[in-house]
Amino acid sequence: MTHFLDDLLAVARDAPDVVALRWFGDSRFGGLLGRRDGARVREEVTFDELAERIQWTAAGLLARGMEPGDRVLFSIRPRPEGVILCLAILRAGGAVVFVDPGSTPELFAARIAAARPRWAATEALLYAASSGPLRGIARSRGLLLPDYGRLPVRHLYTGPRLPGVPRGARRVQRLAKPGVGPAPGSGPAASSAPGHASASGGATDDADREALIVFTSGTTSDPKAVVHTARTLGGMLRLFAQVGDLRPGQRAHTDQMFLGLPAILAGGTWEIPARSPKDAPEAFARGVAGADSSFLVPADVTALLDVLEARAEAAPGSADPRDAASAASAEPLDGGERRAVGPAVLAVGAAPVTVALLERGRRILPGTRWLAVYGATEILPAAVTDAGEKIAAAASGDLVGRPLDGIGVRVDPAVVDLDDAAPGGPTSSDGEPPVGELVLTGPSLMAGYLADLDAGKPRATEHRTGDLAYQDGAGRIVLVGRNRDMIIRGTVNIYPGLFEPRLRELPGVADAVLVGVPVPDGDERVVLVVTAEGGPGGAGAPQIRPDTELARSVADQVAGVLDHGALPDLVVEASHLPLAGRSRKPDRRALVNLVSPLAGTVRA
């Protein structure tokens, strides 16, 4: 089996002059000044240039001392220089470690200790913002950035050198220059022979060495990270090629590598926006116009649709909303023709995709084919469904679609707590499909969790999703609930059980429960419900109050005990917690219903 980078180099040989990467960048200081005009092409990289820069950068990394199995802390936004460095690290045999720099310093330190990186690849601006005078500005905006410059690793940086970049750090752009290291193809970067040592010890084939490590959740005592190899990454890219039906010459406009890399592997062009759709929706709407495909998370879809709907409201002419939507989804061309603003195909995933979001999307962009993608960091993607199919099946549960070719599915009924299944959903009674925990296997299945692999445990053979599901007569997967308490906000999985014990230790708190309140775009608002020590207690429906002395006190303290990805959008105080089941555990479903009217007023 070839490494997916070998496949990329083969594409470069066949189509050297085709544009592989196109970056819609801000003006030089536009990003710093908050400008939102980033729809101009800032840089283009042909396949020949891409292959050469990956090879020379890998050679430069090897010449600077990178060894197979080295882990590289990676904090660079999507843009050509960052994409090339990421692929060069893999070519050199290293592993890319994604750690959110905005988490609490305590959790960041725990994740660094777990990952044990030998290198850090960071934008110069992040070094400057985590030390010196810019550190105060970052803190004033809620970013408790660690001091990157003090990390005991070898440093790589992108962009012009700024105050805070440590002495001895190497600028990435200079690594890619011929002559820095051995010629491409002459060193370990090009080797496919077995026997290289992995970071956790032992010998491994290149394709089975660590390639990507993503921290998804956890606490300071148990940071949790998913590990993918080059083989499982290659499987992921091939599965995403099925989702987008990618072909040579197509334009994929997205900031997500999930679709960008498969697009260039198929011989197409990956167009990278200057900013995410949520940060600069107007610029993204201009850039995505007429693209063949795009991949967005639900929150970004909402931001894009808000812009297009605002155009519709401002469009002159018909009072019919469908006509207004059509006017919003077109732009004038020379000669008076109009073209669709949306891409031909828009895949939505990385978080739950609701029927309401898809219905709104089809109304505003009727010329776009909408797809909902299901999967998890541990195995992505797993299934896909067309918007029309998902909408038509809404009454029977949350249809996530048919498994992609190569994905294995089984439903384990032994772990089902039917109290957690959706009311009215299918059960295992006679004549109905059995409900159970959805268990997946396939070519994109992770190698395992970082702590397990570093402890020498066997690699993963399946992924238990925690979703309660069944397969209908056509083999489609339908979700009916959760077997574990988990909240999904944006692309972050929040496991309440990891954080609630720490919240219960805050002064004045008797009990604490985190719940997720669904909103129409598929995202969830995170609400923290606390009760007071010596509180009134009671039976029946609790009284919920959002602006009590205890709620304000807890809201002021949560940033010190929670990862910022798990910070609540709202803190409320309850007179007591509703209980359910024989175990008399907190009734989270009842709490969601009680706090929903309040959570609806929270800004995303």
DSSP 91-131: HTT-EEEE--TTS-HHHHHHHHHHH--SEEEEEHHHHHHTS
- Beta-strand pair 345-348/293-296: parallel
Strands 436-441 and 408-412: what pairing?
A: antiparallel
What tokens were used for 482?
């959760």
* Parallel, antiparallel or unpaired: strands 544-545 and 570-574: antiparallel
In this prediction, residue 171 carries a pLDDT of 94
The full length of the chain comes to 604
Per-residue model confidence (pLDDT) at position 399? 93
Whether the Cβ atoms of residue 198 and residue 447 lie closer than 8 Å to each other: no
- Return all residues near 587 (Cβ < 8 A) that are at least 6 apart: 577, 578, 579, 580, 581
Q: 482 with 466: CB under 8 angstroms?
A: yes
How many beta carbons lie within 10 A of that of residue 277, not counting itself?
Answer: 28
Rounded to whole angstroms, the Cα distance separating 311 from 289 reads 14
580, 587 Cβ separation under 8 angstroms:
yes
**The dihedral formed by the CA atoms of 380, 264, 241 and 293, expressed in degrees to the nearest 10:** 100
Output DSSP code: residue 77.
-
Residue 433 contacts by C-beta under 8 Å, 6 or more apart in sequence? 426, 470, 471, 472, 473
Is residue 568 within 8 Å of residue 602, measured between CB atoms?
no
Encode 305-320 in three state secondary structure. Answer: HHHHHHHHHHCCCCCC
Element (H, E) at 408: strand 408-412
Answer whether the bond into residue 381 is a cis peptide, omega within 30°. Answer: yes
Task: Give the pLDDT of residue 14.
Answer: 93
Q: CA-to-CA distance for 249 and 264, rounded, in angstroms?
A: 9
User: What's the DSSP call for residue 429?
Assistant: S
CA distance 572 to 574: 7
CB 201: neighbour CB atoms within 10 A?
A: 10
Closest by Cα among 98, 100, 104, 103 to 117: 98
Token reading at 268? 């197409």
DSSP type of residue 534: T
CA-based nearest residue to 525, from 339, 300, 299, 315: 299
Domains of the chain listed by start with CATH number: 4-27+37-274 (3.40.50.980), 281-376 (no CATH), 398-484 (2.30.38.10), 492-599 (3.30.300.30)
Q: How far apart are the first and last CA of the chain?
A: 44
Residues 6+ apart with CB under 8 A from 382: 374, 375, 376, 400, 403, 404, 407, 440, 442, 477
Residues 567 and 561: beta-carbon distance below 8 Å: no
> For residue 137, what pLDDT is reported?
65
SS3 at position 290 = coil
Q: Nearest CA to 571 among 486, 514, 499, 506?
A: 514
DSSP 2: -
Handedness of CA 395, 396, 397, 403 (dihedral sign): negative
pLDDT, averaged per 10 consecutive residues of the chain (604 residues), comes to 82 94 69 48 94 94 94 92 95 91 74 94 86 65 71 93 90 75 43 34 65 81 88 94 87 91 95 86 89 91 90 60 43 42 90 87 95 94 96 86 96 66 44 84 97 95 92 92 72 75 87 86 85 76 90 91 84 87 70 85 43
